């Protein structure tokens, strides 16, 4: 790759994986455009060397266009786009309001599409790269996180189609599939584990038990966000990057889940639910 500073836009840069990617790439002399919604986060990001902070809500077309105009005004062009912005809607699917499901897709899929379309001309000009931050939930659908899983499955399909369309035109598309990562998302998840929320739900006991076990695992055993940032760096700099990078301690287990019969995986999931319920009773 060229030794010139590579200009890269990262969405959802205020915290977690996005913030780690900003810091990791900026420290390696990338010209990083960090998109975020929060004013305080924008001020913090703007203090990092090699970083230009941009107000960017991926659900607001005017902000997406303004971000592109700001980058064009800088005259750097754009080599990389890291579609990281995302939200998580959780709960039993039969309890999830349709509007909540729409909101999930508005950010995790439609926002990705809006940003990618807007910046594609710059990426095409540079023969650059699009890095999609997916999840293990993009190939392994866990119960009680259905909206999020559905959006990430959709992102995987979107990304595969996009890659097969763009590769012939010189733009690479790479998927990053993080597993359990220790970020502030687990603090947000804690607020959703509310017995009152599921008081009248047919699925309340299972959802609460599984949620508490996932929270405990995420806070104690998650990889640091830097591990994802390292894979993003590879995706942007290797001459021939992989199509997908699984970032997890148990990557072999995930690879097996992709090829095992669905009925077998279902039994494994049901056993984990039973184990979570047993731990709830024991606690």
24 is catalytic: no
**Residue located via tokens 């763009």:** 166
Residue among 24, 148, 198, 245 flagged as catalytic? 148
Nearest to 35 by CA among 49, 24, 46: 46
CA distances for 181 relative to 121, 127, 247, angstroms: 33, 31, 9
Rounded distance between C-alpha atoms, residue 219 and residue 185, angstroms: 10
**Catalytic residue list:** 148
């Amino acid at each position: 790759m060229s030794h010139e500073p590579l200009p890269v836009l990262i969405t959802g840069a205020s915290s977690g994986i996005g913030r780690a990617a900003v810091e990791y790439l900026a420290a390696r002399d990338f010209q990083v455009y960090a998109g975020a919604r929060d004013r305080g986060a924008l001020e913090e990001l703007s203090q990092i060397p090699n970083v230009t902070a941009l107000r960017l809500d991926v659900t607001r077309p005017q902000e997406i266009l303004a971000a592109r105009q700001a980058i064009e005004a800088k005259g750097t062009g754009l080599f990389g786009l890291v579609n990281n912005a995302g939200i998580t809607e959780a709960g039993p699917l039969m309890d999830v309001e349709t509007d909540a499901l729409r909101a999930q897709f508005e950010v995790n899929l439609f926002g990705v599409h809006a940003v990618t379309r807007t910046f594609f001309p710059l990426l095409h000009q540079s023969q650059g790269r699009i890095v999609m931050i997916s999840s293990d939930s993009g190939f392994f659908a866990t119960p009680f996180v259905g909206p999020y899983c559905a959006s990430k499955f959709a992102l995987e399909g979107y990304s595969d189609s996009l890659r097969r369309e763009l590769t012939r035109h010189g733009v690479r598309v790479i998927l990053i599939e993080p597993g359990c990562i220790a970020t502030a998302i687990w603090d947000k998840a804690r607020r959703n584990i509310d017995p009152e929320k599921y008081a009248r739900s047919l699925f309340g006991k299972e959802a609460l038990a599984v949620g508490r076990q996932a929270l405990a695992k995420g806070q104690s055993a998650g990889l640091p966000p830097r591990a994802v940032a390292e894979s993003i760096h590879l995706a942007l700099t290797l001459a021939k990057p992989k199509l997908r990078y699984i970032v997890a301690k148990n990557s072999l287990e995930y690879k097996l889940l992709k090829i095992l019969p669905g009925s077998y995986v279902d039994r494994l999931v049901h056993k984990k639910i039973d184990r979570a319920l047993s731990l709830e009773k024991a606690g």
